[in-house]
Chain A
Amino acid sequence: SQQGEEDPQALSIQEGENATMNCSYKTSINNLQWYRQNSGRGLVHLILIRSNEREKHSGRLRVTLDTSKKSSSLLITASRAADTASYFCATDVEAAGNKLTFGGGTRVLVKP
């Protein structure tokens, strides 16, 4: 079963706008990771945020983590057409031996 649920399932924005997607999970985690997947391709690791961290930045990406609400958000600022992809959160659950459980994903379309 999926640990994470993502919202929205799909997002369509204009180039230059910001894209925000959310991920909720159910059990305690060691860390939460965000990945990007272009259609028919493998996953690209974007960012990892540990359970004791609240916010992390990497370039145009900003990730927040609220362990009290068991949720995380990924913000992509100043989006580009090349950001068009599916984005997945994945949780590394405590006592699950380093297994990742993926959310359902958010399909982002950035229109030029």
Chain B
Amino acid sequence: GAVVSQHPSWVICKSGTSVKIECRSLDFQATTMFWYRQFPKQSLMLMATSNEGSKATYEQGVEKDKFLINHASLTLSTLTVTSAHPEDSSFYICSASRLAGELYYEQYFGPGTRLTVT
């Protein structure tokens, strides 16, 4: 159990267009989902925390108007990269959180989405 999917797995888009990435928890309900960005040979950087039915909380330095996050249900969160530019090219990874034991949550990661902006 605890599978998280992302769609698409890769996408190429032109500069100035918008791209939507979906993150789904397939076999559990996740009250919280997280979005990360990872540049080549670097670590994951948390972009935002998304709670079902409420506005996402963005990390410092992440533009909320550029990276729109919608968490419409307990199994789906979407990240829309608006007016994408080449510098937005990156690997975007989501995770979904579930209570895994006493007082701690475990995050289950999606396979990632490779975004290339030309």
Interface positions, chain B 96-118, Cβ under 8 Å from A, are 97, 100, 103-112, 114
Q: 0/1 per residue, A86-112, Cβ < 8 Å to B?
A: 001000100001111111110100000
**Chain B neighbourhood of A50, CB < 8 A:** 104
B49 within 8 A of A: yes
- Say yes or no: B108 contacts A2, CB within 8 Å: no
**Chain B neighbourhood of A100, CB < 8 A:** 34, 46, 95, 107
A43 within 8 A of B: yes
Known: A30-B104, A50-B104, A98-B105. A41 touches B111 (CB 8 A): yes
- Say yes or no: B112 contacts A41, CB within 8 Å: yes
**CA gap between A5 and B94 in the complex, in Å:** 22
Other-chain residue from A30, A99, A104, A107 in contact with B34 (beta carbon distance below 8 A): A99
B32 within 8 A of A: yes
Q: Which 3 A-B pairs have the closest CB atoms?
A: A42-B111, A43-B109, A102-B44
- Say yes or no: B93 contacts A45, CB within 8 Å: no
Interface of B is mostly: strand
B91 within 8 A of A: yes
- Could you name 17 residue pairs across A and B whose Cβ atoms are closer than 8 Å? A35-B109, A40-B114, A41-B112, A42-B6, A42-B93, A42-B110, A43-B93, A43-B95, A48-B100, A98-B105, A99-B46, A100-B34, A100-B46, A101-B46, A102-B45, A102-B46, A105-B43
A77 within 8 A of B: no
Interface positions, chain B 60-118, Cβ under 8 Å from A, are 91, 93, 95, 97, 100, 103-112, 114
Q: A43-B44, A97-B49, A102-B44 are in contact. List 20 more A-B contacts (CB 8 A).
A: A31-B104, A40-B114, A41-B111, A42-B93, A42-B110, A42-B111, A43-B93, A45-B106, A45-B109, A50-B104, A88-B44, A98-B32, A98-B107, A99-B34, A99-B46, A100-B46, A101-B46, A102-B43, A102-B45, A104-B42
Residue of A44, A97, A98, A105 contacting most chain B CB atoms (<10 Å)? A98
**Chain A neighbourhood of B43, CB < 8 A:** 2, 88, 102-105
Known: A40-B91, A88-B43, A104-B43. A98 touches B97 (CB 8 A): yes
